[in-house]
Amino acid sequence: MCYFHIITQAYQTKSTQNISSFPNSYPSEVGSGFNVIDSCWRKDSKWASNRQKLADCAKGYGADARGGKNGAIYVVTDPSDHPIHPKKGTLRYGAIQKRPLWIIFKRDMSITLEGGELFISSYKTIDGRGARVEIANGPCLRLDNVSHVIIHGITIHNCLRGRLDLVRRDPDHLVNTSTIGQSDGDGIRVTSSSKIWIDHCYLSKCGDGLLDITQGSAAVTVSNNYFTQHNKVMLLGHSNMYLKDKKMHVTVVFNHFASGLGQRMPRVRYGYAHVANNKYDEWGFYAIGGSSHPTILSEGNHYTARNDPRTKEVTKRISHDRRRWKKWSWKSKNDLFFNGAYFVSSGKFWRPNYSRSQAFKVASAKGVPTSLTRDAGPLRCVENLPCRN
């Protein structure tokens, strides 16, 4: 039996887990300690009347994402979908509006998008707090040539390829997916976009990648998310020929890369990635990979390799020419390694050039399994109580 087939069987075994049970699977006591992003808002029992405070809490390269701050509250009341004529009250109707909106959900709901991906316009927040919201079993989310988008507290799984068809991009325009690229089953696809923050989401088992950030996207933070049951997790950079990705800056922080994952946590082409205070339970092939001279700082992470001598290395260069990749700046700083895991460094040390609003102190890797990533994924939020896991 080939090695890839063994790994695939492991994913299939994990897929039998009940996804809806995830938010309850890591009990914790509110007030026992939060990471720097969560500490900004999670102690507030009045979060429901002050939702937009969340927009002040991101750190890293996506810290300046405003989302729908200062815009109206839009309430999703209808889980149905139509790719061309979305009804008022549906998620698609709100997401494509041109004005800033803070989108929330009336109740728990499962949304299956029809036809094509859901295009999210600039200055939008999709805020799942107060409800259990899943997007599944159809095309999923697309951010294309937009800015200032926040996605928080959503469960995304079993995303599928979309049809080559018309999809409404905004109230005045339809797009033909054959001209802009058909949905390939990504959970969240970010293209040519900036000032993006993806926080406290759950992503698993999609047709292609769980999260792809490509085509010159920049100023992105991926934080507090729970990834599981998938092979190719997170891609940063479109292709080795797409030079606009040299400007890409992405912060990957406080995420839990759980069991059943294969590779790309992340995989970087060109650009800069600061990977900090994440928990890696295992990986089937590698955890952090790249090609085309990317710059990567792994800092304060908690790496545990699986019980297989072939998969102990955290890193993978997609290049067989050591003379070339030894100049790439890939460094490990204050990481912890378990069960034989190890990181192969190269090049010169690089420090993220964060602005004052983006900067944060990377915590000790010893706290990663507890206060830093324990509450990764969607939280349980009840009015007049602090949100908890």
In the block, tokens 């992503």 appear at: 203
- Which residues are CB-contacts of 69 (< 8 A; sequence separation ≥ 6)? 52, 55, 100, 102, 125
Give the DSSP letter string of 57-80.
Answer: ---STTTT--TTTTSEEEEE-B--
Residue type at 107 in one-letter notation: R
Strand order in the sheet with 101-105: 72-76, 101-105, 124-127, 147-152, 194-199, 218-223, 249-253, 272-276, 295-299, 330-333
Q: Which active-site residues does the annotation give?
A: 264
Task: Kindly state the DSSP code that residue 324 receives in the 8-state scheme.
Answer: H
Q: Whole-angstrom Cα distance, residue 233 to residue 2? A: 21
For 317, 340, 343, 384, the CA distances from 310, given in Å and listed in that order, are 15, 11, 14, 50
Residue type at 354 in one-letter notation: Y
- Cβ neighbours around 254 below 10 Å, total: 32
In the block, tokens 């912060």 appear at: 251
Strands 218-223 and 173-176: unpaired
Task: Kindly state the DSSP code that residue 156 receives in the 8-state scheme.
Answer: E
